[in-house]
Structure 1
Amino acid sequence: MISTIKHRTAPTQLLALKALEQRLPLDHPKRANVEMDLMKQKARFAGERRVNYYLAFLPKVMHYRLFYDLRLKDKHDVQLDTLILTTNYIVLLETKHYTEYSEINELSQQLHHKQNHTETIPQPLEQIYRKQIELGNIFAANQLPPIPIYSYVLFTSPFNNIDLTQAPLDSEQMIRIDSLPKTIEQLNHKNDYCYLTNQDIKSLSRLLLEMHKPHSKSPLEIYSISRSDLIYGVFCPNCKYSTLKRNHYQHHWKCLSCSYLGKEDHVKALLDYALLFQKQITNSEARRFLNIQSRDQVYRILLGVLGRPNGHRYSLKTLLHD
């Protein structure tokens, strides 16, 4: 039996990078860096979604509770791609989605990824080990029973050629995604003792959800980009980079480039504001960002999407799903 406790959604960081890439001028000096990081984030998310498919084939003898995209706030931030919780053991999966040749160096335990150039990712096993230790410390601090924790680096691309001939001895903790069901089956045979009761499972699930804190750092801060560098307005979903004009009488948006008409396109723009700037907005700020001069028009838009304000500020948190 499989129960998903925390579902996988598009990471806030990925959505924020998409918003930034669309609103950054083509000649901006930071644009190349943003585009490269966005490409990596898309590849990572694609790999993580492939994990969902293979988890559906887990052996049916165990009840698996799945947590996706956990970011636990403790002494150190512990970011977990996938956590599998059972009464007998816990599994951590760290996904790596590379489409070209990769090799593991025995001495440094570094992952060398080659796609037109060589990119070195430091110590993938050490990364997952640290997370395993931090998770164990969290359990101990909250007086939860000790339970075996297993961690794996999971290669998710079907096109990746991994060379493990120079890998360290513990390279069995680096597996291809199609080996995941078999790996879990082996853990089921190896761990026949029940460490956690159903009440422990409920307490632990509640603790993990309470400790989860979404990624909150704005990409503007990460890349040292000013708000004034960005393109404001509501973008056409067809042209992508053309901004729409608001017809106040017919209550729709129109693209002057392709004649697209839409009624709710301001919702995406307000989401961009929440991802890039802050999770609250005033009528004045919305007028500037949406490129609308009428206070009454913006009041009706904000009221329809966000409900009534708290004082002068409208909350944008309902647009976010993390």
Structure 2
Amino acid sequence: MKALTRRARKDHWRYQDIVREHGIKQAGYKGEQSLDYYMDFLPKTNPPFSIFQDLRLPHTKESFFQMDNTLLHPNFMLILEVKNYKGTLSFDPKFQQVIQEVENNPLLSLPDPILQVKMQEMKLIQWMKSKNLPLLPIERLIVMVNPKAVIKVDSLHGLVERHVIKAPALHDRIQNYLKKYPDQILSKKDYKRISSLFIKEDTPSETSPIIQFGIIPSDIIPGVFCQRCITTSPMTWHHGKWLCKHCSFVSATAHLPALEDYALLISPTINNKELRRYLLLDKPHTARRIIQSSGADYINSTQGTFYTIKI
């Protein structure tokens, strides 16, 4: 998404959707990193919790459901949905929404994460039944990882208090679950079987952002971007180096990020003609020298020489 945000033409009709999706993914990634710190302090049990991150399981033949973090214990299971929201967050489960208020921004209505994890639990139970797995209690939590976020409750206070916590409270909440479910339900065999099936049936999404947003090669901005002034005005190749006309920055390797963007967004392979068009070069021997210096492997075929871009 970062490469697409950088390379997509700003006048593309879905550019704002691309920027928004990139922001969501960045916030989610930072949220997961923040939660990892608290996951290191899970209560010590025997056997220990098995943690499955971004578990994506089949729901129907054509659909899947995904959970941020799934904790498996012989006594119970816990679904953790991580939210890295900022500002003031007013939970209103009566109307299935969270109202986000950020300074100097209009109010924003977000989907209800309590309903989201409830649906995840329902689909997880259906999946377990379809595999003839023993059922065990399932708890679900929304973990707010932004320490500066302010949480308010507009309706159904008890429901919100049961399911929404800030990250530092995770340890104590899990301790409470261990007290609530003192009896072991899963045998060692069933525990291993569920773990193995989680790993076996986990299906990472293969949807490319290019496909998701209907991007075609002509929607991608060509050229080598300056890494100093972060302008999309292309640098020019001059006497074996790239020169930025905007800030006068000079670099011999500024093409490497551009090649990585090409591999991620268009194709992992490229020929000399395509390389000249993309890097805005005139001479075939210049393009050949640049791609060879990047360490790219090459393949000779009846259609010419193709280079495999190293990422």
Instruction: Give TM-score, length-normalised by structure 1.
Output: 0.77
Aligned counterpart for 1:140 among listed residues 106, 129, 143: 129
Q: Is the 8 A contact 2:38 2:170 kept in 1?
A: yes
The answer on 1:215 being equivalent to 2:200 is no
Sequence identity, in percent?
A: 26
Task: Measure how far apart 1:227 and its partner are.
Answer: 2.2
Q: State the Cα distance separating 1:298 from its structure 2 match.
A: 6.6
Aligned pairs for 1:105-120 (under 5 A) are: 105-115=92-102, 116-120=105-109
Aligned equivalents of 1:190 and 1:308: distance in 2?
A: 61
Partners of 1:314 and 1:193 lie apart in 2 by 59
Q: Identify the match of residue 53 of structure 2 among 38, 45, 68.
A: 68
**C-alpha distance in structure 2 between counterparts of 1:175 and 1:216, whole Å:** 32
Q: CA deviation at 1:82?
A: 1.4
Alignment equivalent of 1:43, drawn from 3, 6, 27:
27
Deviation string for 1:146-189 (max 9, x for gaps)? 22221111222111111125235422111121211111111122
| Partner of residue 7 from structure 2, selected from 18, 23, 37 | 23
Q: CA–CA distance in 1 between the matches of 2:88 and 2:300? A: 54
2:242 partner amino acid: K
Please list every run of 5 or more consecutive structure 1 residues that lacks an aligned counterpart in the other structure. Answer: 1-15
The alpha carbon displacement at 1:262 in A equals: 4.4
Indicate whether 1:99 and 2:83 are aligned. Answer: no
**Offset, 1:85:** 2.0
- Bigger Rg, which one: 2
Instruction: State how far apart, in whole Å, the 2-side matches of 1:262 and 1:36 are.
Output: 33
Instruction: Give the gaps of 5 or more residues in structure 2.
Output: none
Q: 1:299 to 1:21 in 2, by over 3 A?
A: closer
Equivalent residues in 2 for 1:89-238 (5 A)?
89-115=76-102, 116-167=105-156, 169-171=158-160, 172-238=162-228
Please give the root-mean-square deviation of Cα atoms over the aligned residues, in Å: 3.2
Assess if the C-alpha contact under 8 Å between 2:51 and 2:69 holds in 1. yes
User: What secondary structure, in the 3-state scheme, does the structure 2 residue paired with 1:214 have?
Assistant: coil
Query: Is residue 281 from structure 1 mapped to residue 273 from structure 2 by the alignment?
Result: no
Deviations 1:189-209 (A, max 9, x none): 222233334444444333323
Greater relative CO (CA pairs within 8 A, separation 6+): 1
Pairs aligned (count): 295
Letter in 1 for 2:292: R
Q: Structure 2 CA distance, aligned partners of 1:272 and 1:67?
A: 30
Q: Which residue of 1 aligns with 2:74?
A: 87
Contact kept, 8 Å, 1:109 with 1:168, in 2: the verdict is no
Give distance in 1, aligned partners of 2:51 and 2:101: 32
* Distance in 2 (alpha carbons) for counterparts of 1:147 and 1:121: 31
Give the drift of 1:133: 1.7
Give the direction of change, closer, same or farther, for the CA distance of 1:91–1:224 in structure 2 (3 Å limit). same
Once residues 310 and 215 of structure 1 are traced to their aligned partners in structure 2, the CA distance between those partners, rounded to angstroms, is 33
Give the direction of change, closer, same or farther, for the CA distance of 1:153–1:299 in structure 2 (3 Å limit): same
* Partners of 1:86 and 1:287 in 2: CA distance: 56
Question: Aligned equivalents of 2:115 and 2:96: distance in 1?
Answer: 8
The aligned amino acid for 1:254 is W
Are residues 88 and 289 of structure 1, via their aligned partners in 2, closer, same or farther at CA, if it must alter by over 3 Å?
farther
